[in-house]
Amino acid sequence: MDIDLLNEIERRAMAGDVVDIDALVSFAATISADEPLDALCEAAHRVCRHHCGARIETCSIINARSGHCSEDCKWCAQSVHYGTGCDEYRFCREEDFAEGVETCRRRGVERYSMVTSGRRVTAADIKVYGDMMRRHATDAVEYCASMGLIGRDEMQALYDAGVRRYHCNLETAASYFPELCTTHTRADKLRTIGYAREVGMEVCVGGIIGMGETLRQRLELAAEARAARAVSLPLNLLHPIKGTPLGDTPLLGEREIVLSAALMRFAAPDLVIRFAGGRARLSHAATVRMLTGGVNGVMVGDLLTTAGNSPEEDMEMFKELAASDTAVAQK
């Protein structure tokens, strides 16, 4: 590992400068296969603390609409193009949504997001979801939403219903996206992200790693999320779903995941890098290493079509981290 180059990368990231992707890839090439990643993770952690403070930001989601999606994203269980047997429904039950809000409030989870399948929801659908959010609003939990490639008027309606952050993943680097989806474009996503910012929302922009992309492309994704003026970058690990084109994709190893997350911190030094889908398969040691190696956000509870980590276990882990000298503190 080239420590001098790492020190220079850290210095630039501390200053808030854009760290060149070439420099990050060149540095990664100096790390031998069996070399510990401690120095890298510690540098990423210092950059994270410098820009974002000591807090781990938490959020949870509800699958507010499931299945029957017209898009052909190769990783997704909810696409009509693939036979995965996922649940299909148009609206989540209101009692399930209300229970989720209350669970977040009780456990101190800061954000709760409605996530829907499909290319976009209609204005009529947004009225249903918005009324649901209004009926169960609480000052203790902030609403987010991810409802596809909606227009500005629909985005305004969500804002009026109390949504303050919109989630629209870029999914992967622009250089790789056409290999994974053909039914919509990056330009479509960026247009939606722009509408969210126009109405006054923050934006949450991330993706999935382990879909066949290169390390460089993971770093490009982080840089592109920052360029989109995201405040949060969800980092998902591919969970291969049988029936999808990526159903037999080999899983990334823990070392590769830790390395990727730490390097992404330098490409997006001031964003919340949020550990999201797929982390349930990682060891406790790898999870802790990431939370002390550049990652400072966690999605808790179940995900869309896969089970997540136990919120109780997560909160206990946050307490352990806060009690240690090397960790970030829980809110």
Residue-range domains of the chain with CATH: 44-330 (3.20.20.70)
Residue 283 has pLDDT above 50, yes or no: yes
For 119: left if phi > 0, alpha if psi spans -120 to 50, otherwise beta; the answer is alpha
Top pLDDT among 125 and 309 is at 125
Q: In the chain, pLDDT over 90 holds for what percent of residues?
A: 78
CA 84 to chain centre: 23
Pairwise CA distance, residues 101 & 231, whole Å: 22
What SS3 class is residue 185?
coil
Q: Which residue's entry shows tokens 């760290």?
A: 19
- Per-residue pLDDT at 165: 97
Q: Per this entry, what is the length of the chain?
A: 331
Q: Report the share of the chain in percent with pLDDT over 70.
A: 92
Confidence at 62, pLDDT banded by 50, 70, 90: very high
pLDDT range class, residue 317, cuts 50, 70, 90? confident
pLDDT tens digit sequence for 87-100: 888 899 999 999 99
CA-closest candidate to residue 112, choices 165, 54, 171: 165
pLDDT at 323: 60
- Confidence (pLDDT) at 326: 46
**Does residue 325 surpass a pLDDT of 50?**
no
More confident site: 233 or 71: 233
pLDDT at 327: 42
Residue 310's pLDDT band (cuts 50, 70, 90)? low
- Enumerate residues 6+ apart whose C-beta is below 8 A from 216: 21, 25, 173
Task: List, in sequence order, every residue forming a beta bridge with 112; answer none if it has no partner.
Answer: 60, 143
CA dist 14 and 26 (Å) reads 19
Between helices 186-198 and 152-160, what is the axis angle to 10°? 40
Question: HSE of 182 in the Cβ direction (CA atoms, 13 Å)?
Answer: 2
pLDDT at 10 over 50: yes
**302 pLDDT more than 60:** no
pLDDT of 81: 86
pTM (2 d.p.): 0.91
Contact, 209 vs 235, CB < 8 A? yes
Q: What is the pLDDT of residue 321?
A: 72
Residue 21 has pLDDT above 90, yes or no: yes
What amino acid is encoded at 153 in this protein?
Answer: D
The whole-number average pLDDT for the span 47-76 is 92
143 - beta bridge partners?
112, 163
83 Cβ partners below 8 Å, 6+ apart?
243
pLDDT of 329 > 60? The answer is no
Q: What is the pLDDT of residues 238-262, one digit of tens each?
A: 999 999 999 999 999 999 999 999 9
- The Cα 328–Cα 322 span in angstroms is 6
Mean pLDDT rounded to a whole number for the chain = 91
Beta strands in 172-314 (DSSP E): 202-204, 207-209, 232-237, 272-275, 297-299
Asked if 171 and 177 count as a contact pair (C-beta separation under 8 A), the reply is yes
Q: How far is CA 179 from CA 74, 291, 329, in A?
A: 9, 31, 39
Q: Rounded distance, CA 224 to CA 219, Å? A: 9
**pLDDT score at 86:** 81
Q: Based on the number of CB atoms within 10 Å of its own CB, is 15 exposed (0-12), middle (13-18) or buried (19 or more)?
A: exposed
What is the structure's pLDDT at 68?
Answer: 83
Determine the pLDDT at residue 280. Answer: 86
Query: d(Cα 107, Cα 312) in Å, to the nearest integer?
Result: 8
Per-residue pLDDT at 309 = 57
pLDDT at 160 over 90: yes
pLDDT at 328: 39
CB within 8 A of 142, min separation 6: which ones? 110, 111, 112, 164, 165
In the predicted structure, residue 330 carries a pLDDT above the cut 80: no
Q: What is the mean pLDDT of residues 301-312?
A: 55
Got the DSSP string for 301-312?
Answer: B--SSS--B-HH
- ∠ CA 202-261-330, rounded to 5°: 60
Provide the pLDDT for residue 1: 93
Q: Are 321 and 330 in contact (CB under 8 A)?
A: yes
Least confidently predicted of 155-164, 274-283, 312-321: 312-321
Helix, strand, coil shares of the chain, percent, nearest 5, are: 40, 20, 40
